[in-house]
Structure 1
């Protein structure tokens, strides 16, 4: 009888598998809790950072009123005359989330040159990441070389913009030159990382035209020398 009692698996000294399993499961859950906590914090932090970069977590002034200032630009700047007023298409408007935009074509009757200019105003994130190297490359063209920094002097101010030339995929010579840059309301800059600027909204300018002949200013450069002073005046804070 004593041997039978000692070997009885139901005695308190010999817990059953059902008694052991919950304790082991609880231990595994406790071991995973710090990792789960870190993951939740990372997700929340990423969402907050993304919202800040896109301007969702900051106080918003009357952004539409600021954006409407772009429409006050004159129809003539220097020798350049306005010929066409355009608009962003619906897809671009949704992607860029613009508070204001200007899309125009100007013509110089003295030289016969034409340029297309776009000025955008909107949240820093969308405005910062769309560059012509991406846009034009989806339209059967490609950069003919690396982009370069160009300087435009406007009165006592110096502005810097990126310039890049494009050519058709089956051509050797470039047929298009594009200058672009960003501003927070001050100088225009050929910024490498405009999305990390300490501002919730940005302006972007992009001007396209024919490349200049060797040693001669391009249509884009000539136009920007006249256009930037008028643009900066229009971007002055409203009274």
Structure 2
């Protein structure tokens, strides 16, 4: 009898903690905050300075696997230089968007990391807090294989953060955004500050922040 009672008490604690965690992370319900956050993706800019956007195709199944409620996918091209970037902005519950990282997704697609990802800070607006990003180079191992420079960050509570532990950092938020900016490189070493994607982000982030933080 004692063993049964102990088991029952333990099970009740597990269930209760699961309900609390599920409520904290919005696992059990679609919140109105999430619906509102996803709707803002319809109001994002189609031109940023000399960078002009066009819709980009991305596998729907891959997007669904991220757990996103909505997404904005564009191919931005610099009309002067011809540089091209793939921009993916996802909106969803914090849990799913925290666990899908390029280190996992791209390595499972046959890419290898040239080096460990590093933090990179972008100062896009003198009146706003610096934006924190992760960035890394992913490449196909074969000779002449594609090489990609990827920047990624999360947006919540009015700030872009390259969190070390995003699942814990953002767990309490009812909605979260995750941004990827991807550029195919020529394989030659270059300073991050000179990367066209970094210059693009300095222009894009104030536009995104204004829209995503609007009531």
| Kept in 1: contact 2:53–2:77 (CA 8 A) | yes
Residue 204 of structure 1: aligned partner: 178
Asked if residue 65 in structure 1 is aligned to residue 36 in structure 2, the reply is: yes
Alpha-carbon deviations, 1:75-104, whole Å to 9, x = none? 1101211133445614532x3332321011
Note closer, same or farther for the CA distance 1:137–1:46 as it changes in structure 2 (3 Å cut).
farther
| Kept in 2: contact 1:148–1:162 (CA 8 A) | yes
Question: RCO higher in 1 or 2 (8 Å CA, sep ≥ 6)?
Answer: 2
Alpha-carbon deviations, 1:175-230, whole Å to 9, x = none? 11101011114110110122223322211111100347423621221211111111
CA apart distance, 1:39: 3.0
Asked if residue 225 in structure 1 is aligned to residue 202 in structure 2, the reply is: yes
Alpha-carbon deviations, 1:53-112, whole Å to 9, x = none? 54135782253333121121121101211133445614532x333232101110012221
* Structure 1: distance between partners of 2:164 and 2:51: 30
Q: CA RMSD in A?
A: 2.5
TM-score (norm 1): 0.77
Q: Matches of residues 1-239 of structure 1 in structure 2 within 5 Å?
A: 30-52=1-23, 54-56=25-27, 60-61=31-32, 63-86=34-57, 89-93=60-64, 95-156=65-126, 157=128, 158-171=130-143, 175-196=147-168, 197=170, 198-211=172-185, 213-215=189-191, 217-238=194-215
Note closer, same or farther for the CA distance 1:43–1:199 as it changes in structure 2 (3 Å cut).
same
* Structure 2: distance between partners of 1:85 and 1:218: 21
Which region of structure 1 is more displaced relative to structure 2, 214-223 or 134-143?
Answer: 214-223
Q: Choose 1 or 2 for highest CA Rg.
A: 1
TM-score (norm 2): 0.85
Structure 2, unmatched stretches of 5+, are none
CA apart distance, 1:43: 3.0
* Structure 1: distance between partners of 2:159 and 2:175: 15
CA apart distance, 1:144: 0.8
Note closer, same or farther for the CA distance 1:208–1:53 as it changes in structure 2 (3 Å cut).
farther
Structure 1, unmatched stretches of 5+, are 1-29
* Structure 2: distance between partners of 1:74 and 1:102: 11
Alpha-carbon deviations, 1:12-33, whole Å to 9, x = none? xxxxxxxxxxxxxxxxxx2313
